[in-house]
Amino acid sequence: MIKFPAAAAVLSGIFLVFLATTVAGALLAALSTRVIRSVCGLALCCLGLAGLYYFLHSPFLALMELLIYVGAVCVTIVFAIMLAEPDESRTAAPRAATAGWSAAALFASGGVFWGLARLAGQVAWAPPPARLNDGSVPAVGRALLTTHSLTFELISVVLLVAILGALVIARPGRSQL
Amino acid sequence: MTHLPIYEEPGVYLLVGAFLFAAGLYGLIRRRTLIGMLIAGELIFSAASLNLLAFNRFVAADPTVGQLFVLFIMGLAAAEVAIVLSIVIAVYRQYRSVSTRDLSELKG
Protein backbone atom coordinates (compact mmCIF):
# COMPACT_ATOMS: atom_id res chain seq x y z
CA MET A 1 0.00 0.00 0.00
CA ILE A 2 2.77 2.42 0.92
CA LYS A 3 5.25 2.61 -1.90
CA PHE A 4 8.16 4.20 -0.05
CA PRO A 5 8.45 2.87 3.50
CA ALA A 6 11.48 5.04 4.26
CA ALA A 7 9.52 8.18 3.34
CA ALA A 8 6.69 7.08 5.62
CA ALA A 9 9.20 6.57 8.44
CA VAL A 10 10.66 10.06 7.95
CA LEU A 11 7.16 11.54 7.90
CA SER A 12 6.29 9.67 11.09
CA GLY A 13 9.43 11.07 12.71
CA ILE A 14 8.48 14.64 11.76
CA PHE A 15 4.95 14.02 13.01
CA LEU A 16 6.27 12.74 16.34
CA VAL A 17 8.43 15.86 16.69
CA PHE A 18 5.37 18.08 16.20
CA LEU A 19 3.39 15.91 18.63
CA ALA A 20 6.11 16.21 21.29
CA THR A 21 6.30 19.98 20.72
CA THR A 22 2.57 20.33 21.26
CA VAL A 23 2.52 18.21 24.42
CA ALA A 24 5.62 19.87 25.89
CA GLY A 25 4.24 23.33 25.17
CA ALA A 26 0.91 22.49 26.80
CA LEU A 27 2.69 21.10 29.88
CA LEU A 28 4.88 24.20 30.12
CA ALA A 29 1.86 26.48 29.72
CA ALA A 30 -0.15 24.68 32.39
CA LEU A 31 2.53 23.88 34.99
CA SER A 32 5.09 26.69 35.11
CA THR A 33 4.75 29.19 37.92
CA ARG A 34 5.99 32.25 36.02
CA VAL A 35 3.50 33.68 33.58
CA ILE A 36 6.07 34.64 30.95
CA ARG A 37 7.21 31.00 30.73
CA SER A 38 3.60 30.00 30.42
CA VAL A 39 3.20 32.29 27.39
CA CYS A 40 6.31 30.75 25.84
CA GLY A 41 4.71 27.34 26.41
CA LEU A 42 1.57 28.53 24.63
CA ALA A 43 3.64 29.71 21.66
CA LEU A 44 5.47 26.36 21.56
CA CYS A 45 2.16 24.50 21.74
CA CYS A 46 0.76 26.54 18.83
CA LEU A 47 3.91 25.86 16.81
CA GLY A 48 3.38 22.12 17.23
CA LEU A 49 -0.32 22.48 16.50
CA ALA A 50 0.48 24.21 13.21
CA GLY A 51 2.51 21.15 12.24
CA LEU A 52 -0.35 18.85 13.21
CA TYR A 53 -2.73 20.95 11.09
CA TYR A 54 -0.38 20.51 8.16
CA PHE A 55 -0.55 16.75 8.62
CA LEU A 56 -4.36 17.06 8.66
CA HIS A 57 -4.28 18.43 5.08
CA SER A 58 -4.93 22.06 6.08
CA PRO A 59 -1.83 24.08 5.16
CA PHE A 60 -3.82 27.33 5.14
CA LEU A 61 -4.86 26.79 8.76
CA ALA A 62 -1.30 25.91 9.75
CA LEU A 63 -0.19 29.29 8.40
CA MET A 64 -3.07 31.07 10.13
CA GLU A 65 -2.26 29.35 13.43
CA LEU A 66 1.28 30.65 13.26
CA LEU A 67 0.16 34.12 12.19
CA ILE A 68 -2.70 34.60 14.66
CA TYR A 69 -1.62 32.66 17.75
CA VAL A 70 2.16 32.94 17.76
CA GLY A 71 2.28 36.30 16.00
CA ALA A 72 -0.67 38.13 17.51
CA VAL A 73 -2.13 36.45 20.60
CA CYS A 74 1.15 35.57 22.35
CA VAL A 75 2.68 38.98 21.60
CA THR A 76 -0.42 40.72 22.97
CA ILE A 77 -0.28 38.63 26.14
CA VAL A 78 3.40 39.53 26.54
CA PHE A 79 2.43 43.22 26.30
CA ALA A 80 -0.18 42.72 29.03
CA ILE A 81 2.41 40.97 31.22
CA MET A 82 4.70 43.96 30.80
CA LEU A 83 1.92 46.36 31.81
CA ALA A 84 0.51 44.40 34.78
CA GLU A 85 3.04 42.40 36.80
CA PRO A 86 1.13 39.14 37.14
CA ASP A 87 3.67 36.89 38.84
CA GLU A 88 2.20 34.79 41.59
CA SER A 89 3.83 35.30 44.95
CA ARG A 90 4.75 32.02 46.56
CA THR A 91 3.94 32.95 50.11
CA ALA A 92 0.51 34.47 49.48
CA ALA A 93 -1.53 31.28 49.72
CA PRO A 94 -1.50 28.89 52.66
CA ARG A 95 0.16 25.59 51.93
CA ALA A 96 -2.72 23.23 52.68
CA ALA A 97 -5.25 25.07 50.53
CA THR A 98 -2.82 25.11 47.60
CA ALA A 99 -2.26 21.37 47.83
CA GLY A 100 -6.00 20.78 48.03
CA TRP A 101 -6.67 22.82 44.89
CA SER A 102 -3.81 21.03 43.13
CA ALA A 103 -5.28 17.65 43.93
CA ALA A 104 -8.76 18.75 42.85
CA ALA A 105 -7.44 20.15 39.56
CA LEU A 106 -5.40 17.04 38.90
CA PHE A 107 -8.38 14.82 39.64
CA ALA A 108 -10.75 16.78 37.39
CA SER A 109 -8.39 17.07 34.43
CA GLY A 110 -7.20 13.48 34.77
CA GLY A 111 -10.78 12.25 34.81
CA VAL A 112 -11.69 14.28 31.73
CA PHE A 113 -8.60 13.06 29.88
CA TRP A 114 -9.25 9.45 30.79
CA GLY A 115 -12.88 9.62 29.67
CA LEU A 116 -12.16 11.38 26.38
CA ALA A 117 -9.24 9.08 25.56
CA ARG A 118 -11.36 6.01 26.25
CA LEU A 119 -14.13 7.40 24.05
CA ALA A 120 -11.71 8.17 21.22
CA GLY A 121 -10.20 4.70 21.39
CA GLN A 122 -13.48 2.81 21.48
CA VAL A 123 -15.08 4.12 18.29
CA ALA A 124 -13.94 2.99 14.85
CA TRP A 125 -14.10 6.19 12.79
CA ALA A 126 -15.41 5.34 9.34
CA PRO A 127 -14.24 7.36 6.35
CA PRO A 128 -16.97 9.09 4.35
CA PRO A 129 -18.27 7.29 1.24
CA ALA A 130 -17.43 10.26 -0.97
CA ARG A 131 -15.81 13.66 -0.59
CA LEU A 132 -17.41 16.72 -2.16
CA ASN A 133 -14.07 18.44 -2.87
CA ASP A 134 -10.41 18.06 -2.05
CA GLY A 135 -10.28 20.62 0.79
CA SER A 136 -7.50 22.60 -0.88
CA VAL A 137 -6.93 26.33 -0.45
CA PRO A 138 -8.97 27.27 -3.57
CA ALA A 139 -11.87 25.15 -2.30
CA VAL A 140 -11.65 26.83 1.12
CA GLY A 141 -11.67 30.27 -0.51
CA ARG A 142 -14.65 29.40 -2.68
CA ALA A 143 -16.61 28.10 0.33
CA LEU A 144 -15.64 31.18 2.35
CA LEU A 145 -17.07 33.56 -0.24
CA THR A 146 -20.16 31.58 -1.25
CA THR A 147 -21.64 29.25 1.37
CA HIS A 148 -20.16 30.88 4.47
CA SER A 149 -20.06 34.52 3.38
CA LEU A 150 -22.55 35.61 6.06
CA THR A 151 -20.45 34.03 8.84
CA PHE A 152 -17.36 35.64 7.38
CA GLU A 153 -18.93 39.09 7.53
CA LEU A 154 -20.27 38.45 11.05
CA ILE A 155 -16.77 37.54 12.25
CA SER A 156 -15.48 40.84 10.88
CA VAL A 157 -18.22 42.71 12.76
CA VAL A 158 -17.37 40.78 15.96
CA LEU A 159 -13.69 41.66 15.61
CA LEU A 160 -14.51 45.33 15.03
CA VAL A 161 -16.78 45.46 18.08
CA ALA A 162 -14.18 43.63 20.17
CA ILE A 163 -11.45 46.09 19.23
CA LEU A 164 -13.68 49.07 19.99
CA GLY A 165 -14.74 47.52 23.30
CA ALA A 166 -11.14 46.80 24.26
CA LEU A 167 -10.22 50.41 23.58
CA VAL A 168 -13.16 51.71 25.61
CA ILE A 169 -12.41 49.43 28.58
CA ALA A 170 -8.63 49.91 28.69
CA ARG A 171 -8.73 53.68 28.21
CA PRO A 172 -8.83 55.62 31.51
CA GLY A 173 -11.44 58.13 30.31
CA ARG A 174 -11.30 61.92 30.21
CA SER A 175 -12.76 62.51 33.67
CA GLN A 176 -10.09 60.45 35.45
CA LEU A 177 -7.08 62.00 33.80
CA MET B 1 -6.74 -3.90 8.14
CA THR B 2 -3.49 -2.65 6.72
CA HIS B 3 -0.89 -0.98 8.86
CA LEU B 4 -1.33 2.79 8.59
CA PRO B 5 1.41 5.27 9.46
CA ILE B 6 0.88 7.09 12.74
CA TYR B 7 -0.15 10.38 11.13
CA GLU B 8 -3.10 8.69 9.40
CA GLU B 9 -4.66 7.48 12.65
CA PRO B 10 -7.55 9.63 13.90
CA GLY B 11 -7.13 8.32 17.45
CA VAL B 12 -3.73 10.00 17.85
CA TYR B 13 -5.15 13.43 17.06
CA LEU B 14 -8.12 12.87 19.36
CA LEU B 15 -5.77 11.80 22.15
CA VAL B 16 -3.67 14.97 21.75
CA GLY B 17 -6.87 17.02 21.73
CA ALA B 18 -8.02 15.38 24.96
CA PHE B 19 -4.61 16.05 26.51
CA LEU B 20 -4.73 19.73 25.52
CA PHE B 21 -8.21 20.02 27.01
CA ALA B 22 -7.08 18.37 30.25
CA ALA B 23 -4.03 20.64 30.48
CA GLY B 24 -6.22 23.69 29.92
CA LEU B 25 -8.69 22.56 32.58
CA TYR B 26 -5.87 21.97 35.06
CA GLY B 27 -4.45 25.41 34.37
CA LEU B 28 -7.86 27.05 34.62
CA ILE B 29 -8.41 25.62 38.11
CA ARG B 30 -4.83 25.95 39.29
CA ARG B 31 -3.81 29.40 38.04
CA ARG B 32 -4.07 32.31 40.44
CA THR B 33 -3.79 35.24 38.03
CA LEU B 34 -6.14 36.38 35.30
CA ILE B 35 -3.51 36.16 32.56
CA GLY B 36 -2.64 32.58 33.54
CA MET B 37 -6.31 31.64 33.33
CA LEU B 38 -6.50 33.29 29.88
CA ILE B 39 -3.58 31.16 28.67
CA ALA B 40 -5.31 28.01 29.96
CA GLY B 41 -8.46 29.07 28.11
CA GLU B 42 -6.44 29.38 24.91
CA LEU B 43 -5.28 25.79 25.39
CA ILE B 44 -8.92 24.67 25.57
CA PHE B 45 -9.66 26.59 22.33
CA SER B 46 -6.75 24.78 20.69
CA ALA B 47 -8.06 21.42 21.87
CA ALA B 48 -11.45 22.12 20.26
CA SER B 49 -9.80 23.25 17.03
CA LEU B 50 -7.62 20.15 16.80
CA ASN B 51 -10.60 17.88 17.41
CA LEU B 52 -12.67 19.60 14.74
CA LEU B 53 -9.87 19.38 12.20
CA ALA B 54 -9.28 15.70 12.94
CA PHE B 55 -12.95 14.92 12.34
CA ASN B 56 -12.86 17.14 9.26
CA ARG B 57 -9.97 15.16 7.84
CA PHE B 58 -11.17 11.66 8.62
CA VAL B 59 -14.96 11.65 8.84
CA ALA B 60 -16.53 14.68 7.12
CA ALA B 61 -17.75 14.53 3.54
CA ASP B 62 -17.01 18.20 2.85
CA PRO B 63 -13.43 18.93 3.96
CA THR B 64 -13.77 22.72 3.78
CA VAL B 65 -16.39 23.06 6.54
CA GLY B 66 -14.10 22.04 9.40
CA GLN B 67 -11.30 24.30 8.18
CA LEU B 68 -13.64 27.29 8.03
CA PHE B 69 -15.01 26.45 11.46
CA VAL B 70 -11.51 26.42 12.93
CA LEU B 71 -10.76 29.70 11.15
CA PHE B 72 -13.80 31.27 12.80
CA ILE B 73 -12.72 29.84 16.18
CA MET B 74 -9.36 31.57 15.71
CA GLY B 75 -11.12 34.86 14.97
CA LEU B 76 -13.29 34.55 18.05
CA ALA B 77 -10.28 33.63 20.18
CA ALA B 78 -8.45 36.73 18.97
CA ALA B 79 -11.45 38.91 19.85
CA GLU B 80 -11.68 37.24 23.26
CA VAL B 81 -7.99 37.85 23.97
CA ALA B 82 -8.33 41.54 23.09
CA ILE B 83 -11.31 41.98 25.43
CA VAL B 84 -9.81 39.98 28.30
CA LEU B 85 -6.50 41.79 28.17
CA SER B 86 -8.19 45.19 28.21
CA ILE B 87 -10.19 44.04 31.25
CA VAL B 88 -6.92 42.89 32.86
CA ILE B 89 -5.39 46.31 32.27
CA ALA B 90 -8.45 48.05 33.72
CA VAL B 91 -8.45 45.73 36.78
CA TYR B 92 -4.74 46.28 37.33
CA ARG B 93 -5.25 50.03 37.21
CA GLN B 94 -7.98 49.77 39.84
CA TYR B 95 -6.50 47.18 42.24
CA ARG B 96 -2.74 47.24 41.45
CA SER B 97 -2.92 43.44 41.16
CA VAL B 98 -4.29 40.78 38.80
CA SER B 99 -4.27 37.96 41.33
CA THR B 100 -7.68 36.34 41.68
CA ARG B 101 -7.20 36.32 45.47
CA ASP B 102 -7.30 40.11 45.62
CA LEU B 103 -10.34 40.56 43.36
CA SER B 104 -12.93 39.62 45.94
CA GLU B 105 -14.85 42.83 46.48
CA LEU B 106 -18.19 41.39 45.34
CA LYS B 107 -17.82 38.38 47.64
CA GLY B 108 -20.33 38.32 50.47
- Mean pLDDT, residues B14-21 taken together: 94
pLDDT score, position B1:
46
Taking CB atoms and an 8 Å limit, are B59 and A127 in contact across chains?
yes
In angstroms, what separates the C-alpha of A110 from chain B's closest C-alpha? Answer: 7
Burial call B48-70: b when 16+ CB within 10 Å, e when fewer: bbbbbbbbbbbebebbbbbbbbb
pLDDT category at A75 given cuts 50, 70, 90 is very high
Domain ranges of chain B: 6-95
B94: confidence class by pLDDT, cuts 50, 70, 90: confident
Closest of B44, B55, B45, B46 to residue B14, by C-alpha? B55
Question: What digits encode the pLDDT tens for the residues A97-128?
Answer: 778 888 888 999 999 999 998 988 888 888 88
How many percent of chain A have pLDDT more than 90? 60
Which residue in A14, A27, A38, A158 has the most chain B C-beta atoms within 10 A of its own C-beta, making it the best mutation to test that interface? A38
Local confidence band at B98 (pLDDT 50, 70, 90 cut-offs): confident
Shortest CA distance from A80: residue in chain B: B85
Asked whether the predicted pLDDT for residue A27 surpasses 80, the reply is: yes
From A130's Cα to the closest Cα of chain B, the distance in A is: 6
CA distance B4 to B17: 20
Give yes or no for A68 touching B (CB within 8 A).
yes
User: CATH assignment of B6-95, given 2.60.40.10, 3.30.40.10, 3.90.1300.10, 1.10.287.3510?
Assistant: 1.10.287.3510
| Mean pLDDT rounded to a whole number for chain A | 88
Right CATH for A1-87 from 1.20.120.1200, 3.10.450.240, 3.40.50.300, 3.30.365.10: 1.20.120.1200
pLDDT, position A129: 83
Contact B29 A72 (CB under 8 A): no
d(CA A73, CA A82): 14
Task: Report the pLDDT value the prediction gives residue A1, as an integer from 0 to 100.
Answer: 54
Contact A26, B50 (CB under 8 A): no
Q: Do A166 and B82 touch (CB under 8 A)?
A: yes
Q: Inform me whether the pLDDT recorded for A86 exceeds 90.
A: no
The alpha carbon of residue A139 is apart from the nearest alpha carbon of chain B, in Å, by 7
| Residue B17 pLDDT level (bands cut at 50, 70, 90) | very high
